[in-house]
């Protein structure tokens, strides 16, 4: 996610701007510098990035990584003098970690503003600059840094939604992934029921698209191979949003529900499905819609239905 987001950012900022980058993968940094040349400067640590950049974006897999990048006594961003005046974390993590980092920012660097801004749209959205970005900030005009943050995020996403305050961007993202994860499971199960009943899944997908089962998951990210040509499922489930990341996000959403006392009817079963799929060697490291494979869906359905025959 970070690579295409950074590429969009440096492509759209004013000429003469410099993007300072750091990633544990030297290969990814090399790809970005090869593409954008002198506009990109590689650094040896996140701390070095913060020494040079006025606005810092972080995108990390888990809360523990966010803590390390910001709070580590030796290499953490906060344990140094910074040029940065704005820190924006785009990771999908627990709100507790977000609030802890924000508190440390306020304690150690009072003039600096910290925001949570998780994203939705997957690698395809990151590449096309069409992400939805959920910003933990109010748009009531009280935040002096808001125009800067909103403007830069808009270069990486087509929709920046202000969610009300610190931590609310993450709350929105966890609710979104909880919902989309359940929709993907339901779509996989429903499509499988149809195929097992003798129905051409292409026809069933058309029914869903014009009926009450319509969803972006069904229309663009269908779990059944061959329904959506550009979906990961049609590319052996490669690319997209890894099933173990969905298991992580879904677990965070379930934990958030428990913390606030919100009743769930589907959450625990959904979490078990994604956890088990993420541990299955036939599913691990593949797109989360691989749950169709996990439930035993027929990926070779085209041998049963003649190509182009959609009666």
Distance CA 229, CA 206 (A): 15
Summarize pLDDT for 274-284 with one digit per residue, the tens.
999 999 999 99
The confidence score (pLDDT) of residue 184 equals 98
The confidence score (pLDDT) of residue 81 equals 86
Contact indicator for 234, 226 with CB cutoff of 8 Å: yes
Mean pLDDT score, 292-305 = 94
Taking all residues of the chain, what is their mean pLDDT, rounded to a whole number?
A: 94
Summarize pLDDT for 214-273 with one digit per residue, the tens.
999 999 999 999 999 999 999 999 988 999 999 999 999 999 999 999 999 999 999 999
Output the pTM of the full model. Answer: 0.90
User: Which residues is 116 bridged to in the sheet?
Assistant: 89
In eight-state DSSP terms, residue 39 is: G
Mean pLDDT score, 283-298 = 98
3-state helix, strand, coil in the chain (%, to 5): 50, 10, 40
Is 235 one of the annotated active-site residues of the chain?
Answer: no
User: Which of these CATH numbers, 1.10.1040.10, 3.40.50.300, 3.30.499.10, 1.10.1530.10, describes 171-303?
Assistant: 1.10.1040.10
- The answer, yes or no, to whether residue 160 has pLDDT greater than 50, is yes
The structural domains of the chain, with segments of one domain joined by +, span 2-165, 171-303
As a residue count, the chain comes to 311
- The answer, yes or no, to whether residue 171 has pLDDT greater than 70, is yes
Phi, psi of 133 (to 5 degrees): -120, 125
Cα 229 to its chain centre, rounded Å, is: 22
Q: At CA 93, angle to CA 179 and CA 180, rounded to 5?
A: 15
Mean pLDDT score, 150-179 = 97
In CATH, the number for domain 2-165 is 3.40.50.720
Sorted by sequence, the CB contacts under 8 Å of residue 139 that are 6+ apart come out as 146, 150, 162
Mean pLDDT score, 104-128 = 92
| Tokens (6 digits) for 289 | 């819609």
Contact indicator for 26, 57 with CB cutoff of 8 Å: no
Summarize pLDDT for 177-208 with one digit per residue, the tens.
999 999 999 999 999 999 999 999 999 999 99
Band of pLDDT at residue 309, cut at 50, 70 and 90? low
Summarize pLDDT for 139-159 with one digit per residue, the tens.
888 899 999 999 999 999 999
Among the options 35, 67, 106, 173, which is catalytic? 173
Summarize pLDDT for 5-42 with one digit per residue, the tens.
999 999 999 999 999 999 999 999 999 999 999 999 99
- The answer, yes or no, to whether residue 307 has pLDDT greater than 90, is no
Band of pLDDT at residue 311, cut at 50, 70 and 90? very low
- The answer, yes or no, to whether residue 67 has pLDDT greater than 80, is yes
């Amino acid at each position: 996610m970070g690579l295409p987001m950074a590429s969009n950012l440096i492509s759209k900022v004013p000429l003469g701007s410099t993007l300072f980058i750091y990633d544990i993968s030297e290969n990814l940094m090399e790809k970005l510098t090869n593409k954008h040349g002198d506009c990109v400067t590689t650094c040896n640590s996140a701390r070095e990035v913060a020494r040079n950049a006025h606005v810092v974006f972080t995108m990390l897999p888990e809360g523990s990584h966010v803590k390390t990048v910001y709070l580590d006594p030796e290499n953490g961003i906060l344990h140094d003098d910074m040029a940065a005046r704005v820190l924006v974390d785009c990771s999908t993590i627990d709100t507790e970690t977000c609030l802890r980092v924000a508190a440390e920012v306020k304690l150690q660097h009072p003039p600096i503003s910290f925001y949570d801004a998780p994203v939705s749209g997957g690698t395809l959205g990151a590449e096309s600059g069409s992400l939805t970005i959920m910003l933990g900030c109010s748009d009531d005009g009280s935040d002096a840094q808001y125009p800067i943050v909103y403007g830069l995020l808009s270069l990486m996403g087509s929709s920046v939604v202000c969610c009300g305050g610190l931590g609310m961007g993450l709350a929105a993202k966890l609710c979104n992934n909880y919902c989309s994860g359940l929709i993907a499971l339901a779509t996989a199960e429903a499509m499988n029921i149809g195929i097992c009943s003798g129905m051409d899944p292409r026809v069933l997908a058309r029914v869903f698209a014009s009926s009450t089962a319509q969803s972006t998951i069904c229309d663009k990210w269908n779990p059944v191979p061959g329904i959506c040509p550009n979906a990961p499922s049609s590319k052996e489930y490669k690319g997209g949003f890894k099933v173990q990341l969905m298991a992580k996000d879904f677990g965070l959403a379930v934990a958030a529900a428990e913390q606030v006392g919100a009743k769930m009817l589907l959450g625990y079963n959904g979490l078990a499905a994604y956890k088990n799929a993420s541990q299955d060697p036939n599913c691990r490291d593949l797109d989360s819609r691989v749950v169709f494979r996990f439930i035993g869906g027929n990926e070779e359905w085209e041998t049963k239905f003649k190509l182009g025959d959609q009666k």
